[in-house]
Structure 1
């Protein structure tokens, strides 16, 4: 509800006009800024999500102050308030109050974008490909999760004296691997069908599952503000069981889901069915004390075995393109990058932490490349570099931490620099290592296995 004094001083018509103008102008700013930078980055073969995040930084609390989340306590730009005041015929000081009160609606839209993106991530997870190189992918994934998580968490707590829950969250944010970036580079260089390519893709799927489980537990613990053993055990058990049930349902429940969708004859039935599944799993995850984000990812896993998978994917992608953009722009808009200003002595500690996280992020994933325990010849460096980019998955993790209020501005900025650094560096290093070097004989996955990974699983 708006403040009583504000309601009494502004007519209902002027109030409605002001709210509409503020909402529309925010969306215009978000999409113009995000698409402009996305168009620039896509021409350099970099993730457009980075452009959306940087757009938020530019128009947000660290830049032009045109999109300012209320919790940042940053003053909204006079250009914004004066324009709305003149058009809605209300005092300029009241624009800020209306802006803050209506910001929750924009946050709800961004959450829909996050859940849709996680649903799409689960939907695109090739569990059959994971099983085709299951043992090697599993070992790489476990080392690629445990090593950066342990080194990052312990280093932040012992060296930089960061509190336990923020340190654990920062460590968990380094467990991610961007499937999209690595697959794009491997595909361009002809390495996607190689053994290394299949191992990295499989391990990246497992990384995402393990990382989201860890983050769901950390966010839930952060809400309680304690690190007692009993709640941790309960959450771990609940998260593991939740994911296991989702994986089982991805094999067993697909026919029932398809039958329900087939009974819906009205236009958009597949999209409606997918979002009913999404809502049910988010509700179930929240009801047992986990994050709704884990439920969204689980919904994607369940729908991944549906015969309507590609149609659902095509229907969901435009929603992700719209609403996930809002989510990432808001993440960037809420960041205060003044905490990493090198000219400010008080801010240099955040830069040091960023350098530490970046180093651990590289070492942890590259070392995982040597966790391929097999007699077959493997390019361990290629596997390790393929696991390195955090990309959009790392930004999803960062967004969860920002939304839950677990991170201070310095740690937020440090994680952001780690994600950006590994995302830019990994494709460059992979191209340097693989350029002009065709897959070695005997190291390429047979064509029938690449098309049907289960063909060699038995």
Structure 2
């Protein structure tokens, strides 16, 4: 491997922190700064860093660590309170964008049926990691609306993966609906067993001082292992497995020690790489007037379909106007899961090249607009009462 990656790493870490500090001063989350840093360093502007296998792997580690830390900060009792409402918000937040995405592809862009259907699937997931990082930056992760957003986003991704797997036969994969349903049911059993039995084991293990000091290492190993098991055996995206592992360790008596140690690893190295990597995956030079128009249509459809569906559902469920707006805004962001689906489309030759860049731009735009909207909507949150 060329030693140039060390210089590239230095530039990524430096620019993400500099721009992150600037966006923080503008009352925006540093996620926005990191995304802009990726665009600047990538092929669209300076062409210093190209998105290759190394950065892909590093970004994957980054998003897994982000989700693990988000799980550590999740209060299960709070999540239970919004469990059914989160499911309903997520359900409508998947169905409506799926219909809107398909309609844009089939009726406006004149795409073939399969391409349009796949476009609808790309519209379905919410970026759990980006939204969770934004909520943490704004210190509203445990608020009523914040808990609803996180619960809905997690369920949203599971539903999105379920839909993608259902259409696996159309993508050249021999997948039966029975195996999908059985896999998800087994995953839920797996989740229950982990949350039920692993925390007591970890707490007993901590009695030994030698093991106590190694708990962050054990947590990291379990995080990667469960992420792998989730994706390999249950066909549930690895970030859900990482989030699950974090929830398991949230019940560990010394969870703050695990969080502190692994948060350093995530915050200083892998998270900046992940957020910057999103910006690296686009080529603005390939855009013309028609592509720009289609990109704007896709962006408006992707953003509004999520916001309106989740806002209306939240209102019907009894959330006030402010919290409904926050939930709607928090569900707009697409990110790693959408990019994974786009990659599947490229691999199976479902997506044409002229669709890839617009879709990546849509992912970037929704990722940028979500922190901006949440920053504005939570501006007076310090005057409101958080769930305790």
TM score, norm. by length of structure 2: 0.81
Per-residue CA distance 1:153-194 (angstroms, 9 max, x = gap):
55445444343234202222379993554576685xxxx99x
- Output the CA distance in 1 between the equivalents of 2:30 and 2:284: 20
Partner residue of 1:8? none
TM score, norm. by length of structure 1: 0.70
- Output the CA distance in 1 between the equivalents of 2:94 and 2:120: 15
Per-residue CA distance 1:68-121 (angstroms, 9 max, x = gap):
12xxxxxxxxxxxxxxxxxxxxxxxxxxxxxxxxx5334322221121112112
Aligned pairs, number:
374
Q: What is the deviation of 1:54?
A: 1.1
- Output the CA distance in 2 between the equivalents of 1:113 and 1:177: 11
Per-residue CA distance 1:127-146 (angstroms, 9 max, x = gap):
11122455555544544454
2:39 and 2:280 in contact (8 A); partners too: yes
Q: What is the deviation of 1:429?
A: 4.4
Q: What is the deviation of 1:386?
A: 1.4
Q: For 1:405-444, list aligned pairs within 5 A.
A: 408-429=356-377, 431=379
2:92 and 2:313 in contact (8 A); partners too: yes
Aligned alpha-carbon RMSD (Å): 3.5
- Output the CA distance in 1 between the equivalents of 2:175 and 2:55: 37
Partner residue of 1:293? 239
Consecutive unaligned residues of structure 1, counting only runs of 5 or more, are 1-15, 70-102, 452-458
Seen in structure 2, the aligned counterparts of structure 1 residues 146 and 230 have a Cα distance that, compared at 3 Å, is same
Per-residue CA distance 1:258-298 (angstroms, 9 max, x = gap):
33354461685121110121132123223315233332222
Say which of 317, 326, 341 aligns to 2:273. Answer: 326
Seen in structure 2, the aligned counterparts of structure 1 residues 133 and 174 have a Cα distance that, compared at 3 Å, is closer
Say which of 31, 35, 38 aligns to 2:20. Answer: 38
Per-residue CA distance 1:187-239 (angstroms, 9 max, x = gap):
5xxxx99xxx42x2332232122123234446667887628895345234423
1:366 and 1:384 in contact (8 A); partners too: yes
Say which of 318, 321, 324 aligns to 1:384. Answer: 324
Seen in structure 2, the aligned counterparts of structure 1 residues 356 and 133 have a Cα distance that, compared at 3 Å, is closer
Larger Rg: 1
Say which of 112, 118, 136 aligns to 2:67. Answer: 118
Q: What is the deviation of 1:150?
A: 4.4
Q: For 1:239-258, list aligned pairs within 5 A.
A: 239-258=184-203
Partner residue of 2:296? 351
